[in-house]
Amino acid sequence: MEEILKKEFRCRKVWSCGGQCQGGGISSGSVFSLDGQKVFVKRNPAPGSRALFDGECASLEILRETKIIRVPKPIKVFSHGDKTAFVMEYLMLSSVRNFACLGEKLAKIHLYNKNLKDNATRNESFIGRASEYVDRFGFHTTTCCGFIPLTNEWKDDWLTFYASNRLKPQIDRAIETYQDRGVLSLWPEIERVLPKLFPSDLNITPALLHGDFWEGNVGEVNNEPCMYDPACSYGHSEYDLGLAHFFRAFPPEFHDTYHSFIPKKPGFEKRLKVYLLFNAFNNWNHFGSVYQDLCISLMHEISNF
């Protein structure tokens, strides 16, 4: 890898700064020095990994534009042979200790687009950048949650986007892979219930989402919260909380601070189950049938709302 990086960045000296580490179980990662500058290099040999890293790079760029929270500065995505590499700023990370601050930062990211709308002097949107208000749901490029590509085609309505671009593809994938008749029979019931959970007076403003927000994708740098491995899109702010609740890793001070900026709206707990359903199916499609019972259980619960 040293010679590849030397050629790609036209460096005189490149050396490895340590052993291999895993990038969330999907990609491998290593730290290198490029003429004295430390960088973090993620690699993946799988087909489609170019889209994975291009989407992550675009997501980091848009989060950096908000200037709300520290994220690694993306440097370059490139292919070498049958592998793809993503080079980014190296950050000396530690575990999160100030969860209240993390909750505040996430809330401010979710409010960023709304604040642009409120402060706008004109009513145009320039889709794809965080500096202009975005009035639809989606993203300007493909992103991946794990190794599964997400459909980010723009929609005017959040429920349409979530059902067709997030939930249905995961369910279709599970049905195709596992031939589970329970999922097949329960999906029409989920479709029937969803409109009741997203009434028109919910008034969802597109929020910039991290898209894969859980304890494994956050840390601290110099006592300040940091996030990484994003799969951004513009969607419902509650969506990011689904994965946070899925692993139940964030303490009350995180949630209390977050909701002091974005209070819970009626139906929040039920909608959270719907967002948990996406994450349960995403894990089933990544890691196998250990998540099957959870998916079926959630579908039964939601169908009875």
pLDDT in tens, 122-177: 455 555 566 789 999 999 999 999 899 999 999 999 999 999 999 999 999 999 99
pLDDT in tens, 58-81: 999 999 999 999 999 999 999 988
Q: Which residue has the higher pLDDT, 247 or 178?
A: 178
pLDDT in tens, 178-223: 999 899 999 999 999 999 999 999 999 999 999 999 999 999 999 9
Is 156 catalytic? The answer is no
Q: HEC profile for the chain?
A: CHHHHHHHHCCCCEEECCCCEEECCCEEEEEEEECCEEEEEEEECCCCHHHHHHHHHHHHHHHHHHCCCECCCEEEEEEECCEEEEEEECCCCECCCCHHHHHHHHHHHHHHHHHHHHHCCCCCCCCCCCCCCCCCEECCCCEEECCEEECCCCECCHHHHHHHHHHHHHHHHHHHHHCCHHHHHHHHHHHHHHHHHCCHHHCCCCEEECCCCCHHHEEEECCEEEECCCCCEEECHHHHHHHHHHHCCCCHHHHHHHHHHCCCCCCHHHHHHHHHHHHHHHHHHHHCHHHHHHHHHHHHHHHCC
Average pLDDT over residues 24-44: 88
pTM of the complete model: 0.93
Q: Which domains does the chain have, with CATH numbers?
A: 2-89 (3.30.200.20), 99-303 (3.90.1200.10)
Label residue 50 by pLDDT band (50, 70, 90): very high
Looking at residue 247, what is its pLDDT?
A: 76
Looking at residue 245, what is its pLDDT?
A: 85
Looking at residue 22, what is its pLDDT?
A: 46
Average pLDDT over residues 91-105: 96
Active-site residue, selected from the candidate residues 54, 82, 180, 212? 212
